[in-house]
Amino acid sequence: MVTTENQYAIETISLTKIFPDWWGRAKVIAVEDLNLQVLQNEIYGFLGPNGSGKTTTIKMLLNLLHPTKGASFVFGGSVDSPAISGRIGYLPEESYLYRYLTARETLDFYGRIFGLPADIRKARIETLLEMVGLSGMGNRQIATFSKGMARRIGLAQALINDPDLLILDEPTSGMDPMGTRQIKDLFVELARRGKTILLCSHLLADVEDVCDRIGILYGGRMQVEGTVRQLLQQKDEMQMRTGQLSGRALEQIKRIVSSEGSPIDIEKPMDKLESFFIKVVAKARQEKQRTSGVEAGTGISGFLAEKPVVQHENILDKLVGAHPQKGPEEPEKSDRVEATKSPPVSQTQPPEADYGLLQQLTRQKTEAPLPSTETVQKEPEKPSVKKDILDDLIRKKSSGSTEITQPEKKEDTENA
Amino acid sequence: MHSIWAVARNTLAQALRMKIAAVVILLLLILLPLMSMVMDGDGTLLGKLQTFTSYGLGLISLLLCILTIAISTYTLSNDLKCKYIFLVVTKPIRRFELILGKLLGIILLDILLLGIFSAILYGCTRLIPKITDAPESQKFQANAEFFTSRIGIKTELAKDLINNRARQRYNELKSSNQIPEDMSYARIMSELYVQEAMKVKRVDPGQTKEWDFEDVRVKNADDPNTFIFVRYKYQTAAPPPDEKVYGLWQVGDLRQFKAGAAKIKTPVYNVERDEVIRVTHEFAVPANAIAEDGYIGISFFNSTALNQTAIIPEELELLYQTGNFTANYFRAVLMILVRLVFLAVIGISLTTWLSFPVAVLVCITIFFVGLTNTFILDAIGGVGATAGMIYSILLKPLLWLLPQFDGVYNPNGYIVAGRTIQWTFLATTALFTLLVKGLLMLLAGMLIFRRREVARVAA
Ligand SMILES: Nc1ncnc2c1ncn2[C@@H]1O[C@H](COP(=O)(O)OP(=O)(O)O)[C@@H](O)[C@H]1O
Ligand SMILES: [Mg+2]
């Protein structure tokens, strides 16, 4: 197959995957009508909660699954062609490595499949083992490795062919914070060398400071897509980042700001993407989009909590829970949400549902947010809800241990 | 090509690190030398050699077959189940290359293990005559009948002639109203057939029976050290007092006497034997007895002076040497290898769409059908009734697809009897088993696997 050099490293056209049940009826719509375009030399953050269809998309890209509808191209062609698969490095969601091989044998095996000459193979294996910090354990069997160690070999394996495109499915899962940091530095370095990376994760910390562009998937559909900056900037708000200030200094600042006639709110800095992500997912949920992935979890299971957790009546949960999956014949109720246009906003009670989601996300966070710029201009997200769910959340959650706060934001809707 | 080789190496490593391979190796390493010590057969050196090689080859073949079935059904299905395959098929390797690589790995393992164990068996077999103190006659017998490679030509019963005679007898009986009313036609006929066949086979006292062999080509027939062998067994109409038969044999171009020629060109050998009945015997004559055109005749004379009863020489066979034991043993081992490769092909092909347990079950079934398939196919061929027709239409194509490991396809029989496995036979068997049946299955497997969604989990 002739591969025409394409501007897209990855392109999917209306990619859809429906898993049928035993009788051949549609059971799970894992990915629906996905049009993904990843440019060459771009780090693309492919985000979404568990079960939103990220892995399924990757599997279709790599021909491990056949799309029910639509098509996908890598470097303008099919991964079936060795010329194209030879340019890809892939790290699956778990490290599916032969347990009976040693780390070195593992890398050697994959190197051989790529047809690397012996000297290059040997040199690369040593460099990669060094890089992932396992050079001393090259002769140990993978079976004896911990999950994080196997993960590192998985990463080394994905790099053995010096790929032009890296497809990484939750690369930091099971990895320690140092490893995570290392990996992120690696991504930046690889991108600098002209590589393309599809970084798939539900861990926002993984993507936020390395990705050029992100897309958020929910229920198999792309909810928003854009550069991190575009998505997070709020134009009519400003944020100052300082060291710890005395009360007196704060009072002075407040006075100055009030004299400008602007409201002021002083908080500790926080993750930006995280709140955005939650908002997107919450919105999708509120619009009763079905997902075959995880629904909002309830806080902590009753039997685990020391004190009984107060279960709030949650209308949203009820609504969503009643129709976890829509039948294929049922008409689609929600519009596809994009960064540029927003659908009509429905008036719904702010959901507690997101308390669970928030917890789930923060629990897995491995790193403290990295303040990067002194001032970040903020722009209200375009698709937003009448009443910010997080505001409500914070007020109700008085005893929670999660340390996430959200700058008080004005209610804002474009179409209001 | 490099990717096929990479997969082959990996499969080999997997198999060697699997416990089952270790168990098979250990079992053979213990059992083979042990068997060479305890197996005795009928007490003679020949018997001991025959029993040992028969069991030895059988054991090696069986254990390696099981090992091959286990590994070939395991390797691909386990890759699929444990998702190892995700990291393989996403690399520059085509699906058929993956299958070929796995197959190659298993074949290499089979060659390795079969080579080692057949060498051990060979060594033990060669050692047995040296460490057993058997009389010279037994050693001679072992060399003539076991450490050799001979081809045998059997005489065929003239079935049509016997059938005609049986029918004629039936008609005679019918016209004279002597047919018993309570017997069916088929039973009477089969009875008459046996009677007529006996008439053809028996040699009454004072009579001579002759067998003709055409086109017998023996290498170096003029060399006085090249021999041909006559093999037979006696039955008698009535048991002789000493359980013995005195036979007067003539081997050579018997046409020379009939033509009344004065001078005899090729030698005719007279052989006198006194031997017990119901046991297979054998004698040798120089191969120069064969006429130039490849004809040789054997005659048996039942002398009234020596015997009092009719004698029935059975299973008469003319044998001649075509090669040595070692080469023949090698061909027997290759025949086992054909079997192993076929099983590996089946195992892998099945797991392109079946899970491990199902594939193992199917594979073992195929293996056991293979062990009796020649017999089954023959039996079906023999059934003439309507039921047989149905079987042969429905079952035969299916059975045809399955392998044949028994009968003439079983190398044990050849080695035990010192019979030659001809290269042409080995080649056609290999061609037919592997390139026709095996390739068909392999291509089907590859086709299925090419379209398979490897990330699809079976419910
Ligand atoms: N082989 C399968 N059969 C049926 N459903 C599946 C299969 N694989 C994935 N799914 C479903 O598809 C949805 C998307 O899964 P996945 O792509 O793994 O999510 P993510 O990687 O975003 O966490 C989930 O609801 C999951 O249960
Ligand atoms: Mg996943």
Q: Which of A102-111, A343-352, B123-132, B143-152 has the highest mean pLDDT?
A: A102-111
Does residue A59 lie within any of the structural domains?
yes
Q: What is the band of B350 on the pLDDT scale with cuts at 50, 70, 90?
A: very high
For the record, the structure tokens of A142 come out as 């993978």
Q: Is residue A290 a part of any domain in this protein? A: yes
Is B272 in the same domain as B294?
Answer: yes
Inter-chain contact B453–A100, Cβ cutoff 8 Å? Answer: no
Residue (of B330, B315, B86) closest to B211 by Cα position: B315
Is residue A337 one of the residues assigned to a domain?
Answer: no
Higher pLDDT, A75 or A357: A75
Measure the CA angle with vertex B197, ends B192 and B202; round to 5°.
Answer: 125
Q: Tell me the pLDDT band of A381, cut-offs 50, 70 and 90.
A: very low
The residue from B279, B305, B323 where one domain ends is: B323
Q: How far is the CA of A205 from the centre of ligand 2 (A)?
A: 16
State in Å: Cα A221 to ligand 1 middle. 13
Q: Are residues B283 and B367 in the same domain?
A: no
Report the run of H or E that residue B25 belongs to, with start and end. Answer: helix B19-38
Do A64 and B90 lie within an 8 Å CB cutoff? yes
A104 within ligand 1 shell (Cβ under 6 A): no
pLDDT tens-digit series, residues B409-458: 999 999 998 899 999 999 999 999 888 999 999 999 999 999 998 888 75
- B22 touches A: beta carbon within 8 Å: no
Question: Do A110 and B87 lie within an 8 Å CB cutoff?
Answer: yes
- Indicate whether A324 pLDDT > 50: no
- Is the domain of B315 the same as that of B341? no
Question: Minimum-distance ligand to the CA of A50?
Answer: 1
B339 & B416 share domain? yes
Nearest Cα residue in chain B from A108: B6
Highest mean pLDDT (candidates A269-278, A383-392, B150-159, B445-454): B445-454
Q: Return the closest-CA partner of residue B311 out of B230, B236, B218.
A: B236
Residues B256 and B134 in one domain: no
Q: What is residue A202's predicted lDDT score, i.e. its pLDDT? A: 80
What CA–CA distances, in Å, run from A6 to A13, A71, A76? 15, 15, 5
Residue with the smallest CA separation from ligand 1 atom 18 is A55
B141 and B16, same structural domain? yes
Positive or negative torsion for Cα A204, A208, A211, A217: positive
| H or E stretch at B361 | helix B356-382
Residues A274-311: tens digit of each pLDDT: 667 777 777 787 776 666 666 655 544 445 444 433 34
Residue A351 included in any domain: no
Answer whether B83 sits within 8 Å of A105, measured CB to CB.
Answer: no
pLDDT, tens digit, 9 for 90 and up, residues B352-363: 999 999 999 999
Residue nearest to atom 19 of ligand 1 (CA): A51
**CATH code: domain of residue A144:** 3.40.50.300
Q: Is A34 in the pocket of ligand 1 (CB under 6 A)?
A: no
Residue B144 has pLDDT above 90, yes or no: no
Same domain, B330 and B253: no
Average pLDDT over residues B253-267: 77
Cβ(A56) – ligand 1 distance below 6 Å: yes
Ligand 1 atom having least distance to the Cα of A17: 12
Q: What is the DSSP string of A240-300?
A: B--S---HHHHHHHHHHHHHTT----------HHHHHHHHHHHHHHHTT---SS--PPPSS
For a ligand 1 pocket test, name from A15, A18, A19, A277 the mutation site with the most ligand atoms within 8 angstroms of its C-beta.
A19
Under 8 Å between Cβ of A76 and A6? yes
Question: Which ligand gives the minimal distance to the CA of A324?
Answer: 1
Q: Whose CA is nearest to atom 20 of ligand 1?
A: A51
Q: Give me the mean pLDDT over the A124-143 stretch.
A: 91
Residue B228, domain extent? 202-323
Paired with B232 in beta bridges are B281
Does residue B191 fall inside a structural domain?
A: no
Share of residues in chain A with pLDDT > 90 (%): 33
| Mean pLDDT in residue range A106-111 | 96
Amino acid B166: pLDDT: 87
Q: pLDDT tier at A383 (50, 70, 90 boundaries)?
A: very low
pLDDT tens digits for range B378-398: 776 665 566 666 766 777 777
A337 Cα to the center of ligand 2, angstroms: 22
Confidence of residue A270 (pLDDT cuts 50, 70, 90): low
For an interface test with A, which of B90, B98, B100, B448 has the most A Cβ atoms less than 10 Å from its Cβ? Answer: B90
Which of A36, A54, A56, A64 most suits a substitution to test ligand 1, by most atoms within 8 Å of the C-beta? A56
Range of the domain at A129: 8-233+273-308
Number of domains in chain B: 2
Q: CB–CB of B87 and A115 under 8 A?
A: no
Among candidate residues B268, B295, B323, the one where a domain is terminated: B323
Q: Give percent of chain B above pLDDT 90.
A: 44
> How many residues appear in chain A?
416
Residue at B299 is within a domain: yes
Give the nearest ligand 1 atom to A58 CA: 17
Spatial CA neighbour of B67 closest among B15, B29, B121: B15
pLDDT band at A257 (very low <50, low <70, confident <90, very high): confident
**Nearest residue on chain A to B98, alpha-carbon basis:** A113
| Residue the block writes with tokens 């060094």 | A130
Q: Which ligand is nearest to the CA of A32?
A: 1
**Which of A37-46, A155-164, A231-240 has the least mean pLDDT?**
A231-240
Span A219-231, pLDDT tens digits: 889 988 988 777 7
Residue that terminates a domain, selected from B323, B353, B371: B323
Look at residue B157 and tell me if it is in a domain: no
Q: Which residue has the higher pLDDT, B1 or A58?
A: A58
- Contact yes or no for B92 and A86 at CB 8 A: yes
Residues B127 and B32 in one domain: yes
B311 and B375 part of one domain: no
Q: Is B158 on the interface with A (CB under 8 A)?
A: no
Is pLDDT of B346 > 50?
A: yes
Q: Which of residues 76-135 of B touch A (CB under 8 A)?
A: 82-94
B123 & B207 share domain: no
- Within a domain: residue A67? yes
Instruction: Give chain B's end-to-end CA distance (angstroms, integer).
Output: 35
Asked if ipTM goes beyond 0.90, one says no
B246 and B228 in a common domain: yes
* Closest CB from A83, A113, A161 relative to B88: A113
Pairwise CA distance, residues A271 & A291, whole Å: 26
Q: Is residue B159 part of a domain?
A: no
Domain assignment of residue B364, yes or no: yes
The answer on B139 and B129 residing in a single domain is yes
pLDDT per residue as tens digits for the range B64-73: 999 999 999 9
Asked if residue B315 belongs to a domain, the reply is: yes
Residues of chain A neighbouring B93 (CB-CB closer than 8 A): 82, 85, 113
What residues are neighbours of ligand 2 (ion), with CB under 5 Å? A 55, 93
Specify the pTM: 0.77
Ligand nearest to the CA of A60: 1
Cβ A100–B17 below 8 Å, yes or no? yes
- Report residue B296's pLDDT band, with 50, 70 and 90 as the boundaries: very high
Helices B95-131 & B45-81, crossing angle to 10 degrees? 160
- DSSP annotation of A102 reads B
Q: Nearest-5° angle of CA A111, CA A115, CA A117?
A: 85
Q: For A2-18, what is each residue's pLDDT tens digit?
A: 444 557 999 999 999 99
Nearest of A72, A40, A75 to residue A58 by alpha carbon: A72
**Does residue A248 sit within a domain?**
no
Angle at A138 between CA A136 and CA A139, to 5 degrees: 110
Reply yes or no on whether the pLDDT at B58 is more than 90: yes
Mutate to test the pocket of ligand 1, among A12, A22, A55, A169 (most ligand atoms within 8 A of CB): A55
Tell me whether residue A84 is in a domain. Answer: yes
Domain count across chain A: 1
Amino acid at position B330, single letter:
F
